[in-house]
Amino acid sequence: MLPAVVGMFPFGVVCGVGAVTAGASPLAALAMSLIMFSGAAQIIAAQLIAAGAPFAVIVLSCFVVSLRFLMYSAAMAPYLRPLDHRWRNLLAFLLTDQAFAASIHRLRASDDPRAGVSYFLGGGVVLWVMWQLATLAGIFLGSVIPPEWQLEFVVPLCFLALLAPLLRDRPTLVVIIVSAVSAVALDAMPMRLSMICAGLLGIFAGVVADRIGVSGD
């Protein structure tokens, strides 16, 4: 989970800077990270608040980018079933892109579900704490990182590191190609709907590829 922390830290700094720039007090800027705990939603909320958008538009836009959590939630569900509901409720709060992508392999690969769940819990707590520290750095130190370093590129690289190893069979290749082409082709959609639509098209293509037997490893 350490690599995931490296990936999200610059993102958290950007969220802190963005919130303050949008006119949030330091406490409110930190509360965004404490409560919303979603970089994509926080950036969009900050941009829309700065642009003077109405409340309904802000909430709807954040909801659209958070639709992916529905999918993550469904994918995690079978592994969290044996747990007490209080644990499920806590673990759900820790469900982020990084925690999901880093943990789902372990959960699938491991015979002992507790090992995977422990990894998700431990990693999720570390990510949440580091997210707050990164936000605080952004709030109080500002853009400490010179923009020409382009450190924001660490974020896609971190996701790429989780994505590339998944490419071990042909249906996954189909998923990646369809999802990539759709994400670019649909980019002009409003409210970043392209992300969730591209994901859904990729998943659909993967199911079709499984069915028609685009097999081979």
Scanning residues 106 to 145, which ones bind another protein (CB under 8 A)?
none
Q: Which is nearer to another protein, 134 or 201 (CB)?
A: 201
**Number of residues near another protein (by CB under 8 A):** 92
Among 141, 187, 212, 215, binds another protein (CB under 8 A): 187
Q: Does position 8 bind another protein by CB under 8 A?
A: no
Q: Specify the stretch interacting with another protein by CB under 8 A; choose among 19-27, 114-122, 129-137, 138-146.
A: 19-27
Q: Which residues contact 87 (CB under 8 A, 6 or more apart)?
A: 80
Looking only at residues 68 through 97 of this chain, which bind another protein when binding is defined by CB under 8 A? 68-78, 80-81, 85, 88-89, 91-93, 95, 97
Kindly state the smallest distance separating residue 75's Cβ from another protein, in Å.
4
Looking only at residues 37 through 66 of this chain, which bind another protein when binding is defined by CB under 8 A? 37-38, 41, 45, 49, 55, 58-59, 62-63, 66
CB atoms within 10 A of CB 147: 8
Q: Does position 183 bind another protein by CB under 8 A?
A: yes
Kindly state the smallest distance separating residue 93's Cβ from another protein, in Å.
6
Which residue matches tokens 């922390």?
5
Q: Which is nearer to another protein, 118 or 150 (CB)?
A: 150
Region of 208 please: left (phi>0), alpha (psi -120 to 50) or beta: alpha
Alpha-carbon gap, residue 212 to 90, rounded angstroms? 39
Contact predicate 151/145, CB 8 Å: yes
Q: Does position 36 bind another protein by CB under 8 A?
A: yes
Kindly state the smallest distance separating residue 53's Cβ from another protein, in Å.
10
Q: Does position 158 bind another protein by CB under 8 A?
A: yes
Kindly state the smallest distance separating residue 32's Cβ from another protein, in Å.
6
Q: Which is nearer to another protein, 125 or 203 (CB)?
A: 203
